[in-house]
Amino acid sequence: MKKLIVVLSTAIMLFSCGDKKKNDQDFSKSSTDASVASDPSSYDPNRGLGKFDKVDLGATLDQEMATEGQKVAEVKCTSCHKQTEEKLVGPGWKGVTSRKKPEWIMNFITNPDPMIDKDPEVQAQLEICLVRMPNQGLKDEEARSILEYMRKIDGVK
C-alpha cells in the first residue's frame, strides 16, 4: 500500500511540474508590453505602459472620489506609502501628481510590473526602496479614486 501511495504521489508531482504545452498562451504580458520589448525606444515616460492614454482631471477636486480613494488606499497602499515625502517601504506620495502625469500614475498603479521593468526612474526608485510594488489588482474606478486622493494630498481644492 505504501508503494502505491509513493508511486501515485510521484506521478502527480511529475505531471503537475511538467513543461507547458506548446499551445498554452502566456497572458501575463499585454501586446503593449511585447511591442516595447521589441522596441524599447517606444516606451513613453509621460504615459508609461497600460491602457490609460488620457485621464481627464477636473480643475477642482472631486471630494467624494478623494474620500473613496482614501478608503481604498488605507486598505491597499498605506502599509507601504506615506502621505508625506517620507519613504516608508515605497516612496511617499506628497508631490507625485505634480511630478507625474495622471496617465502615468493610473498605468503604474493598475499595472506596475511592466513599468518597473521599463521605466528608468522607477528602476532607480527600486534600488532605493529594494521592494517591487505588488500589483494590488485595483479596478479602474479604485485607481482613479486613489489618484484623486493623491491630488488632495498635493493640495488640489
Instruction: Compute the CA torsion angle 136, 34, 53, 61 (nearest 10 deg).
Output: 20
pLDDT recorded at residue 2: 52
**pLDDT tens per residue across all 157 residues of the chain:** 555 444 444 444 433 333 333 333 232 333 344 444 445 567 899 999 999 999 999 999 999 999 999 999 999 999 999 999 999 999 999 999 999 999 999 999 999 999 999 999 999 999 999 999 999 999 999 999 999 999 999 999 9
Measured CA to CA, the distance from residue 60 to residue 90 in angstroms comes to 28
pLDDT recorded at residue 39: 52
Q: Could you tell me the CATH superfamily of domain 45-157?
A: Cytochrome c-like domain (1.10.760.10)
Strands (E), the chain: none
Q: Are 58 and 118 in contact (CB under 8 A)?
A: no
Q: What is the 3-state secondary structure (H, E, C) of 1-14?
A: CHHHHHHHHHHHHH
Quote the pTM value. Answer: 0.74
pLDDT recorded at residue 111: 93
Q: Are 107 and 52 in contact (CB under 8 A)?
A: yes
